[in-house]
Chain A
Amino acid sequence: MDTSNLDIAYLALSAILFGLGGFGLLVRRNPLVMIMCVELMLNAVNLTFVTFGRMLDDISGQVIVFFVLVVAAAEVVVGLGLVVAMARRRPGATADDLRLLRG
């Protein structure tokens, strides 16, 4: 199998992973699991970037992944901070229990 066909396979894999992450985000109620699902989606995108970088012979794809990693780290930090703040006030709360903004 030549590498160019394999590139398509990488893209397909990342699409599946992205779909899994998205489905999990929409379905799971535990905020920590939701954060993990977001990580899944981010990694799926990272994979496509690297794949594109190789397909187009461009190092920029990898540079972008670098930045995505940084943003993901920041997101997790803030997200976990939120989870901690939330758990202090209502231990055991899920994402569904926080709906003060309901109309």
Chain B
Amino acid sequence: MVELLWLIPALPLAGFVVLLFFGKRIGEPLAGWLGTAMVALSFLVSIVVFIGLWDQPEHTYDLKLFSWIPAGSFHVDLAFLLDPLSMTMVLFITGIAALIHLYSIGYMHGDSRFPRFFTYLNLFVLSMLLLVLGDNLVVTFLGWEGVGACSYFLISFWFEKDANATAGKKAFITNRVGDWGFMVGTFVVFFTFGTVKYSEFLPLSPGLAQSTATLIAVMLFIGAIGKSAQIPLFIWLPDAMAGPTPVSALIHAATMVTAGVYLLVRVNPILAASFSWLPWLIAIVGALTALLAASIAIAQTDIKKVLAYSTVSQLGYMFLAVGSGGYSAAIFHMVTHAFFKACLFLGSGSVIHGMHEEQDMRRMGALRKLMPITAGTFIVGWLSIAGVPPFSGFWSKDDILSYALHKSPVLYAIGLFTALLTAFYMSRQVFLVFFGKARWGESGDAELAAMEAHTAAHDADATTDDARSDDLGEATVAAAADAGPVAVATEHHAHDVHPHESPWTMTIPLVVLAVLSALGGLLNLPFNENTELLNKWLEPVVGANQVHLGLSGAQLTVELVVSTIIALLGIAIAYGVYLQRRVDPERIELPLFANGWYIDHGISVFAGGPGRRLFELVATFDRVVIDGAVNGVGRLTRGGATRLRTVQNGYVRWYALMVGLGAVLIIAFVLTQVTF
């Protein structure tokens, strides 16, 4: 059964090819159903393969399709490595992707490029599967670039709006920085081991020089930072929300952005062989990203932006887990996060859909009665991400916090504080959207006017700065510009908003994901060895380098109780602020947070000022030295030819003269050689 492995990526590929060539002819509903069916079939095959994998020795199966690059000693196969890690990834990728495909049929209804959307989605699933299934770094890189490209296509899917196009460019360019790290890492791996195949070089890594291992690990870590939106390369992810919401759910929450975590878990023997500061670095970057993104999330007004920063924050948790040696915890959180974040994103998409493309949470409220299914599933997702037991997020987050505490109390404290913020900003979102007063329609206009004035100042501030910046910094415009058109658009239909529940194609995925979010914790309950299913399952891949906590019952209980209290505290604060209005929200939603710590702004200023001068210097170098050399060669050739061509004057007698001259010279030369 495991031999069917090749079908898993082949089905989305088939869907992609068919949709690419016949998508327009297939037309609106059918193209979506075709794409959905392909991914769903892929998921079914994954289950079959999963069952088959149990019979394989060490739960590992290597399938070589064909020799891809046989270049001397550099040999790359297009081959798939199926082990517990990639199996886990494949299962949740295909599963969630199938649900989101189904959801998109409803969400993208009426879009003029409906078939193309599913073409891209299928291509994305194919690339993602290549990424996780690749049995060497090059195939992984192929998928890595494929998902990057799809991400770019889909962020800019509605490219008619400039902001969407620039957001796509920003994501692409930021990702390139990380890809550079991945590539250099791959080169160093080949240079060191002579192979890029995981099953060949990973077992050798314990014998590696620490410095080499660290170099590889740092380079791959840079790649992971770019893809998984960690400090300092996280800036692209919030802007990526310009894409359709299913894209945000699938690519920018559940799957693609976890590729960095996957990569680090995959090469865990290399991390283990590195200097001891490297795991520290990963953990610190993760913890700081989690904290920073969470702090930004508490002041966002765009329903998707909150979730975007939340994603960055949760990815930070995963890096914290990797850095603390809790690889299985990272994967655990990745899976549960995929469940509840996909659920939340799809829920927000449902809200946006029901509110007629309204994304500003300040214009929502009291939607739970109008959209009961959306509200119910969203609340499950909220409780899960907030870390309320027994929802899945509680278990996975607590798992990570246990590893963090084992690593350092400081990391644990940061993690806990972030958990508090998480619970707070998610509760804020839920209260603003589904509870309280209805601020859509006429009732909220007066209230909004005041708020508008408050934020407009910041927006205008940011916009003028951005306008000053040049094309290098223009990606940041996307962030600020997002709010503008939405606010304007709202003026037109603010009075005739009639929120409604979404069609069944959208609600079914929501319900499924909500159930998964609620029950996902069962995968890895921390009580004893037998309940840590995921831990045991991943043992062959990460077991050797996994930190073993050996928590006593009392320790575990304390940690679980602390986490629970923190989560409930966060919810309580949000309740007090946003429902009971005991504190003015503006005292919490500081401009510093609302503007993302002015990081985009700072980059714009840098890129517009000293950065620009630097780039212009580089451009001048390019123009004068590089182009000059190229043009110089051309001019030299041309100039030389202009002078030389006078020799070719067309007089046949002149040519004969030259022939004669040559003959005389040869005779003269021969005569000097002759002796009598």
Contact = CB atoms under 8 A, between A and B. Distances in A.
Interface string B86-123: 00000000000000000000000000000000000000
A100 B650 CA distance: 6
Given A103-B646, A103-B647, A98 B652 contact: yes
Interface in B655-674: 656-657, 660
B582 interface: no
Nearest to A95: B652
B648 interface: yes
B653 A103 contact: no
Given A22-B660, A26-B660, A96 B646 contact: no
Interface string A5-43: 000000000000000001001110100001000000000
A15 to B, nearest CB: 11
A50 to B, nearest CB: 22
A2 B647 CA distance: 50
Nearest to A31: B652
B676 interface: no
A88 interface: no
Contact of A99 (B644, B646, B651): B651
Interface string B621-653: 000000000000000000000001111111111
A102 B656 contact: no
A101 interface: yes
A25 B660 CA distance: 10
A30 B397 CA distance: 101
A34 B655 CA distance: 14
Contacts of A29: 653
Contacts of A22: 660
Interface residues on A, range: 10 to 19
Contacts of A103: 644-650
Contacts of B650: 98-103
B649 A102 contact: yes
Contacts of A102: 648-650
B656 A26 contact: yes
B649 A99 contact: yes
A33 B220 CA distance: 82
Contacts of B644: 103
Interface string B207-249: 0000000000000000000000000000000000000000000
Among A26, A27, A34, the one with the most B-chain Cβ atoms within 10 Å of its Cβ is A26
A102 B648 CA distance: 5
B653 A95 contact: yes
A103 B638 CA distance: 13
B653 A96 contact: yes
A42 B104 CA distance: 90
Contacts of A96: 651, 653
B653 A26 contact: yes
Contacts of B649: 99, 102-103
Contacts of A100: 650
B657 to A, nearest CB: 5
Nearest to B642: A103
A76 B364 CA distance: 102
Given A95-B652, A98-B652, A26 B647 contact: no
A103 B646 CA distance: 6
A95 B654 CA distance: 11
Contacts of A98: 650, 652
Contact of B657 (A26, A95, A99, A101): A26
B61 to A, nearest CB: 69
B80 to A, nearest CB: 61
A51 to B, nearest CB: 19
What are the nearest 9 A-B pairs in CB distance?
A99-B650, A102-B650, A103-B645, A103-B648, A95-B652, A26-B657, A102-B649, A101-B650, A26-B653
5 contacts: A26-B653, A26-B660, A29-B653, A96-B651, A101-B650
Given A34-B653, A102-B650, A103-B645, 17 more contacts: A22-B660, A25-B653, A26-B653, A26-B656, A27-B653, A95-B653, A96-B651, A96-B653, A98-B652, A99-B651, A99-B652, A100-B650, A101-B650, A102-B648, A102-B649, A103-B646, A103-B649
